[in-house]
């Protein structure tokens, strides 16, 4: 049986207004304070609260994960959504599935609806149908699998055919944790991305490397475009990486 502590959550239970007296200025002022306590809640309540949080947002974006079977699309989504890694047990995705997560970018809540697609060829016609209204595409290859890298050109061809012209595209070289088995150098990924004028990052669903950063960069880009802060459709991820490393780490994004 699952222990109660699994479901412990810190919740805001009440906010108080305390009236205080500022002796120096001879004025009364109101001090707002918030009481927090630990509460035992059941999994259903957690899910309901998550769903309520997911429904509060300013901008919405549909993001699709694409790439050959086995490159790690499901694992990347799991890492971003749940913070966990599905080691070993490779169960191929059938058709499409989606999860949502709200990330906060400069006080703007961006709701990402992230579609995990099946990489297998036989599902291709099903997934094409979902391209048209996607705002962003995360295209993955596996750095230990040269074929998945070589197939990126074909994936970009499909994207050109089925997706919107101004879709945000980011190329991700996943499994960057596999040092010994690496078949594709980082520079090769960068070169390919430059050739197609798309953003690039290496990621690892296993270690978590750059996973949050990739999604937050997409969310930030969607926010900039929707608020007209950018007059170009070029997505330069370097801006976000630089920003991230220069700024102190921001608090974790809300789910
Ligand atoms: N070492 C390592 N293994 C990974 C990583 N990401 C995924 N894997 C492993 O790669 C295998 C395939 O991962 P999935 O996420 O299921 O691949 P997918 O792209 O969703 O595959 P399809 O659903 O068939 O399209 C699994 O055994 C994972 O454990 C990673 O970053 N590092």
DSSP characters over 109-152: EEEEEEEEE--SGGGHHHHHHHHTT-SEEEEEEETT-HHHHHTH
Is the pLDDT assigned to residue 51 strictly greater than 80? no
- Contact predicate 110/226, CB 8 Å: no
Task: Pull the structure tokens for residue 20.
Answer: 């205080």
In a domain, 252, yes or no: no
In a domain, 79, yes or no: yes
Residues having CB closer than 6 A to ligand 1 are 69-75, 86-88, 90, 92-93, 118-120, 174-175, 177-178, 204-206
In a domain, 13, yes or no: no
Hey, which of 74, 91, 138, 151 would you mutate to test ligand 1's pocket, going by the most ligand atoms within 8 Å of its Cβ? 74
Give nearest CA residue, ligand 1 atom 6. Answer: 72
In a domain, 20, yes or no: no
3-state secondary structure of 23: coil
- Per the structure, the count of domains in the chain is 1
Percent of the chain whose pLDDT exceeds 70: 68
CA 66 to chain centre: 14
Residue 54: pLDDT band with limits 50, 70, 90: low
In a domain, 106, yes or no: yes
CA 142 to chain centre: 18
Q: CA 207 → CA 20, 214, 222, distances in Å? A: 49, 14, 26
Buried b (16+ CB within 10 A) or exposed e, 123-139: beeebeebbeebbbbbb
Tell which atom from ligand 1 comes closest to the C-alpha of 94: 23
More confident residue, 243 or 137: 137
The ipTM of this complex is 0.99
Tell which atom from ligand 1 comes closest to the C-alpha of 87: 29
The pLDDT of residue 25 is 52
The pLDDT of residue 96 is 80
The pLDDT of residue 95 is 76
In a domain, 18, yes or no: no
Could you tell me the pTM of the whole model?
Answer: 0.75
More confident residue, 7 or 167: 167
């Amino acid at each position: 049986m699952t222990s109660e502590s699994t479901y412990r959550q810190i919740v805001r239970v009440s906010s108080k207004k305390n009236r205080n007296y500022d002796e120096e200025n001879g004025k009364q002022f109101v001090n707002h304070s918030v009481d927090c306590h630990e509460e035992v809640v059941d999994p259903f309540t957690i899910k309901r609260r998550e769903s309520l949080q997911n429904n509060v947002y300013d901008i919405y974006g549909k993001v699709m994960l694409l790439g050959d079977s086995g490159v790690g699309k499901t694992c990347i989504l799991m890492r971003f959504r749940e913070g966990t890694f599905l080691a070993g047990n490779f169960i191929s995705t059938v058709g499409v599935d989606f999860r949502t997560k709200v990330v906060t970018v400069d006080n703007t809540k961006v709701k990402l609806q992230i579609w995990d697609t099946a990489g297998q060829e036989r599902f291709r016609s099903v997934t094409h149908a979902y391209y048209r209204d996607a705002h962003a595409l995360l295209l993955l290859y596996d750095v230990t699998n040269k074929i998945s890298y070589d197939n990126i050109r074909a994936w970009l061809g499909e994207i050109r055919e089925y997706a919107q012209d101004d879709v945000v595209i980011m190329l991700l070289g996943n499994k960057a944790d596999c040092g010994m088995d690496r078949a594709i150098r980082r520079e090769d990924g960068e070169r390919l991305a430059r050739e197609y004028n798309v953003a690039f990052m290496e990621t690892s669903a296993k270690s978590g490397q750059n996973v949050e950063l990739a999604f937050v960069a997409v969310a930030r880009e969607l926010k900039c475009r929707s608020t007209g802060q950018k007059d170009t459709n070029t997505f330069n991820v370097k801006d976000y990486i630089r920003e991230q490393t220069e700024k102190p780490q921001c608090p974790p994004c809300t789910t």
